[in-house]
Every structure is written in structure tokens, then in C-alpha cells.
């Protein structure tokens, strides 16, 4: 045991076990979500066509308002894909 370990600077074994615990809990949560949580996208093609048609800012004549019905209002970035939010969606 390292006698120089303090609350501000914990020992190496303590940091290693803490890190292992954090990664283990995160892995269990991610595994649970990937098994029991399924995303559904309805109207994906129409929505992406609309977004593509509005690419040129100078040709826009009106604003675009999007509305979603969410079961959950927060998805941490570690759970979702960091790239395109529609990358894992299937056409529905």
C-alpha cells in the first residue's frame, strides 16, 4: 500500500479499480440499451429530401420547423452514434 496516497492523489491501485468500475458500469448500461432499445424512424426519406432541397440558403423562402414526439428527452452522446443521427435508423 502506498503511504503517500491522499484524497487529492489516490494510489495507483485505487485509480485502476475506479477506472475499471466506471468502464464496467458503462459497458453494462450500453449492452442493456443495445439489447432492449430499438430506434424507429418514420418518414426518413421525405425528411432527408426536404433537408437536401434546402441546402442553398439563398433559395429558401420560408423557415423550417420540425416537431418530434419523444419518449426520452435526453440521449447521452456516449449512447448514440456521434455522426449522423439517422445512420442506425431503418426506413419505416
Better pLDDT: 91 or 54:
54
* Rg value, the chain, Cα: 22
Per-residue model confidence as pLDDT tens digits over 41-74? 778 898 889 888 888 888 888 888 877 666 655 6
Dist CA 66 CA 46 (whole Å): 13
Dist CA 3 CA 78 (whole Å): 36
| Domain parsing of the chain, residue ranges | 12-50
In this prediction, residue 92 carries a pLDDT of: 46
Phi/psi at 37 (5° precision): -115, 125
**Cross-strand pairs, 41:** 91
Per-residue model confidence as pLDDT tens digits over 16-50? 999 999 999 999 999 998 888 877 777 889 888 98
In this prediction, residue 71 carries a pLDDT of: 61
Amino acid at each position: 500500500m502506498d503511504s503517500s496516497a491522499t484524497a487529492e492523489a489516490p494510489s495507483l491501485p485505487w485509480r485502476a479499480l475506479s477506472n475499471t468500475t466506471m468502464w464496467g458500469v458503462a459497458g453494462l448500461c450500453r449492452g442493456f440499451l443495445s439489447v432492449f432499445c430499438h430506434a424507429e424512424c418514420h418518414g426518413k426519406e421525405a425528411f432527408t429530401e426536404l433537408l437536401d432541397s434546402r441546402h442553398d440558403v439563398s433559395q429558401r423562402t420560408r423557415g423550417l420547423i420540425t416537431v418530434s414526439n419523444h419518449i426520452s428527452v435526453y440521449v447521452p452522446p456516449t449512447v448514440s452514434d456521434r455522426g449522423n443521427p439517422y445512420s442506425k435508423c431503418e426506413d419505416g
